[in-house]
Amino acid sequence: MTRVLLIGGTDSSGGAGLMRDGAVTFDFDCVPLPIVTAVTAQTDQAVQVVHLVPPEIVVAQLKTAFVGDPPDAVKIGMVGTRECARAVASVLMNYRIPIVLDPVLHASSGAALYAGGGVSPLTKIATLLTPNLNEAAALLNRRPATDDDDIADQARALRARGVNAVLMKGGHSQDHECTDHLFDAGGHHLFTGKRQPMTRRGTGCTLATAIACRLGAHRQLVDACRDAFDYTKMWISAGQLP
């Protein structure tokens, strides 16, 4: 079975973080290998407490995950600090493995989940970066993109930092349709669906983990992103059922 290394924080509400990542891996018949970077106490409305795991403990978890059968892909979510990002990068740079980086900077409630000035140590080793429009703007210290030209320009700027490909998620746009933009060495690829009347916590975790599951199963990047987009769309729709 495909083994997916999941790096991120716990969520006591179960709505996001490693709990959501694990649920996605089960849907894709993958084995989850969780690496805890933070323990949080939160609800759907607010983050109450964040306890960061020391980088050396994160490194110890990572090194043991590569003993025996190594993972087939990696999904990185919340790392908490720049020091932790450096520590994670120092381990993963030694392996040739697909890495999906979801730059978790804030919880859905708006609470900050990252302190330290950027995740650049991880962008340099990532196969794919999956920011929403607000996260991309924050990483670049710009205003959020408002049209396709802005989106393409910010994606180019992020790729210039060393990441292989960027998936600019359109869930925070104001368009009637939700469109994700993938920029890679092959060009610009669009994934479009009808915007749902509601969203769900953990959408970013869901999409990034689904992509990692498909990459771990040796799907090409464009196909992995398309499969994950469709899966996430169905998951959001399922949450609206009575």
d(CA 30, CA 22): 9
pLDDT of residue 171: 62
Nearest CA to 135 among 195, 222, 77, 197?
A: 77
Question: What's the whole-model pTM score?
Answer: 0.93
Tokens representing 136?
């991309």
Cα gap 159→165, rounded to integer Å: 6
Query: Can you give the pLDDT at residue 106?
Result: 64
Question: Can you give the pLDDT at residue 201?
Answer: 83
Give the burial string for 8-35 (b: 16+ CB within 10 Å, else e).
bbbbebebbbbbbbbbbbeebebebbbb
Instruction: Determine contact, residues 139/158, Cβ cutoff 8 Å.
Output: yes
What 3-state class would DSSP assign to 126? coil
Give CA–CA dist 2/217, Å, rounded: 6
pLDDT of residue 118: 59
Q: What is the pLDDT, as a whole number, of residue 232?
A: 94
Domain extents for the chain?
3-238
Query: In 116-171, where do the E strands start and end?
Result: 128-129, 165-168
127 vs 18, 55, 111, 152, 184, CA distance in Å?
20, 22, 27, 18, 10
CA distance 173 to 135: 12
Rg, Å, the chain Cα set:
16
Query: Residue 71: what pLDDT?
Result: 97
Domain 3-238, second-level architecture: 3-Layer(aba) Sandwich (3.40)
Structure tokens at 72: 């087939």
Q: Output the pLDDT for position 237.
A: 85
- Which structure tokens are listed for 87? 């520590």
Cα separation, 88 vs 72, in Å, equals 17
Instruction: Write the DSSP symbol of residue 173.
Output: S
pLDDT given for residue 176 in this prediction: 66
Ranges of the chain whose pLDDT falls below 50: 241-242
d(CA 46, CA 228): 27
